[in-house]
Structure 1
Amino acid sequence: MATVREIYQLLNTLAPFSIQMEFDNAGFLVGRGDQAVDRILVSLDITEPVVSEAAERGAQLIVSHHPVLFHPARSITDGDPTGRILLALVERKIAAICAHTNLDTVAGGVNDALAHRLDLVQIEPLKQDGVDASGRPYGIGRIGNTVGAPMYAPAFAAFVKRQLGANGVRYVDARRPVRRVAVGGGACADLLSDALALGCDTFVTADVKYNGFLDAKALGINLIDAGHYPTEQVVVPVLAKWLSDAFPKVEVFATDRHKEAFSYG
């Protein structure tokens, strides 16, 4: 048994909420800090089906990556999706802790999980954004090397799709063998030039705009857009393990109801 506050304190130690980006709204967002918790549901997002799943499975807390409440709310009613989610959480006495950009940047977080899922080795930061209060460096993105015979973009894109369970990927083939790879979970296409400057031949990220693909083609770097959900979903088992290891008497489980929101035709 643990309290919501104790679980928040653990996450704040591993991925300090103080290092979240200015636009973000990560933290303890819904519930009472002294609420007892013996079951935790972990999910990338908190949606209505996820709240229903937590209630059905007896969870008192949901830990997610994306904040359930991102923008200031002028009202909380059942007239919009966010309002319905917040009402359902409060009515069912389910708390919510959301670790977002702080989890993107810390060691062992989203980007390390993504690099490991793609079997990269000799992993290092793509960009250092600062150091936390304990002096630990943090930053967005990671760089690593592939092992074995190098693949070219079409084969590596197929590998990325398989490893991440993506419904599809979009890519630019610069006709360079894949040896040194940068990764940025979620929308990190603005780091393309950083990846190139650090000697990367390939960049795996998500939410790439049309001009991003044109830039990659002109710059001669392989660019793979594997989708926001697949490139960040890799952190869900990491969060679950952190919580299970720290609170062995608490049952921790990942959602089996939240999936990719769209399909490719």
Structure 2
Amino acid sequence: MFAKGQTVVQLMEKFAPKALAVENDKIGLQLGTLNKEIPKVLVALDVTPEVVDEAIALGANLIVAHHAIIFRPLANLRTDTPMGALYEKLIKHDIAVYISHTNLDVAEGGMNDWMADLVGIVEPKPLEELQREPLYKLVVHVPSSHHQGVLDALLSAGAGTIGDYSHCSFSTAGTGTFLPGEGTRPYLGSPGKLERAEEIRIETVLPESVRAKAIRGMLKAHPYEEVSYDLYKLEQTGQAYGLGRIGKLAQPKTLGELTEVVKQGFDVPAARVVGDAERVIKKAAVLGGSGSRYIHHALRQGADVLITGDIDYHTAHDALMAGLAIIDPGHNSEKIMKREVANILGKMLRESGSETTVHASEPNTEPFRFV
């Protein structure tokens, strides 16, 4: 059975939540409808005429792309213009286009983490922190007989994660009192009679992303009709999310050696480089797409090199004078997302029992030619 378009997008947004996107970023469904079955999904960096023809030949009726096809407000929709003709072809062949852009960049295990892995950065951290996940303290009282079941439901849903530690909780025994009202069906005691019960107080921490799931699991496992629980938003925050990544290299390399790693890892024929090829690089920063405005972020955090695309002439001079090396493999280096997203989304669909298949786009959408 094929997945509906809404299901495909829900899975995609589970991996790269829309809430992670930079404000005003053009993400989400940009063309077509998700109210249909999706036999095949095509994952692309850019939606070009060649990519649309590929989708038609493949029989894909949903394209998940990184770069928006509608970036500025449309004054008209004329089909005698190049972009208008592209929209027309997509509509005529019932191909929807969904965009996952900066939310995919920011997501844990997303674009910038893939870049960091290819470069050899260990324990990467955001180059620019955008937000931190809120944390909540959950307190629930449960009869001793159901303590382990309720605790397991919470922890299996992702509660109790503090930094690199998981399954964190605290339990204390005590006596609970309650008076079941008329018409109730209490698990313990009788209506109209004050009941004293041996209960366990469970305390644990909930990241925002698992709050709803954990509470649903807790309520399902709890035997009481009315569950006594409290939820407090904490001053402490959880995981940091942001653009780019920075960290030490697993093995220091010269700038020349690291450039070869970048060329091979991002499958580019050449890269623009700023700095001495013999300089030893110990700490690197990466950022997918256009990174000219991030040289000062990299410098403040002690990076020896910034690996990003679309560095302009004057920014290159600023970096050179400030002692920051640059490797610019081009904006199209983000094409690594095609294979990665296809693998992740395909696996999620298979695990959901869907027969929908996901394919990485093959056409090269690099507009520049190296001559």
What range describes the TM-score normalised by the shorter chain of this pair? over 0.9
Residue 257 of structure 1: aligned partner? 363
* Counterpart contact for 1:142–1:183, Cα < 8 Å: yes
Match for 2:308: what amino acid? T
Q: Which residue of 1 aligns with 2:306?
A: 203
Q: What is the deviation of 1:99? A: 0.3
**Cα distance in 1 for residues equivalent to 2:295 and 2:44:** 28
Aligned ranges for residues 87-166 of structure 1 at < 5 Å? 87-131=88-132, 134=209, 136-148=239-251, 150-166=252-268
Q: What are the residue-to-residue correspondences of 1:226-245 with 2, within 5 Å?
A: 226-230=329-333, 232-245=334-347
Q: Deviations over 1:130-159 (max 9, x none)?
A: 1366365321000132233x3222232222
* Paired position in structure 1 for 2:170: none
For residues 96 and 311 of structure 2, what CA distance do their matches in structure 1 show? Answer: 33
Runs in 1 of length 4+ with deviation above 3 angstroms? none
The answer on whether the counterparts of 1:64 and 1:99 sit within 8 Å (CA) in structure 2 is yes
> Is the 8 Å Cα contact of residues 154 and 173 (structure 1) preserved in structure 2?
no
Bigger Rg, structure 1 or 2 = 2
Contact 1:157–1:169 (CA<8 Å) still a contact in 2?
yes
- The 3 A distance-change label for structure 1 pair 167 and 263 is farther
| Aligned residues of 2:106 and 2:242 also touching (Cα < 8 A) | yes
RMSD (Å) for aligned C-alpha atoms: 1.6
What is the aligned partner in structure 2 of residue 32 from structure 1?
A: 33
CA distance in 2, matches of 1:136, 1:28: 28
The question of whether the paired residues in 1 share the 8 Å contact of 2:46 and 2:365 is answered with: no
Farther off after superposition, 106-115 or 72-81: 72-81
Residues 183-233 of structure 1: CA distance to partner in whole angstroms, max 9, x if unpaired? 011101211111111111111001001111111111111111110001x11
Contact 2:129 2:243 in 1 (8 A): yes
SS in 2 for 1:104: helix
**Cα deviation, residue 167, structure 1:** 2.6
Aligned residue number for residue 219 of structure 1: 322
TM-score (normalizing by structure 1)? 0.93
How much does 1:95 deviate? 0.9
Task: Name the CA distance, whole Å, in 1 between partners of 2:317 and 2:347.
Answer: 45
1:190 and 2:191 matched: no
Q: Is the 8 A contact 1:176 1:221 kept in 2?
A: no
Asked if the contact 2:48–2:365 (Cα under 8 Å) also holds between the matched residues in 1, the reply is no
Partner Cα separation in structure 2 for residue 91 and residue 99 of structure 1: 23
What is the letter of the counterpart of residue 365 of structure 2? K
Q: Distance in 1 between matches of 2:37 and 2:314?
A: 49
Distance of 1:124 and 1:136 partners within structure 2: 10
Is the 8 Å Cα contact of residues 41 and 63 (structure 1) preserved in structure 2?
yes
1:50 touches 1:258 (CA, 8 Å); kept in 2?
no
Aligned to 1:56: 57
Q: Is the 8 A contact 1:117 1:234 kept in 2?
A: no
Q: TM-score, normalised by structure 2?
A: 0.68
- Structure 2 gaps of 5+ residues are 134-207, 210-237
Gaps spanning 5+ residues in structure 1: where?
A: none
Partners of 2:239 and 2:36 in 1: how far apart?
Answer: 31
Q: Deviations over 1:73-108 (max 9, x none)?
A: 122222222212211111000111110111111111
Looking at structure 2, the residues matched to 253 and 204 of structure 1 have their Cα atoms a distance apart, in angstroms, of 28
Q: Tell me which amino acid in the other structure corresponds to 1:256.
A: E
Q: How many residues of Structure 1 are paired with residues of Structure 2 in the alignment?
A: 263
Give the partner amino acid of 1:160.
Answer: V
Structure 1 residues 81 and 138, CA gap change in structure 2 (3 angstroms): farther
Q: Report the alpha carbon displacement of residue 49 of structure 1 after superposing the two structures with TM.
A: 0.9
In structure 2, what residue type is equivalent to 1:163? G
- Distance in 2, matches of 1:140 and 1:121, equals 17
Which residue of structure 1 aligns with residue 167 of structure 2?
A: none
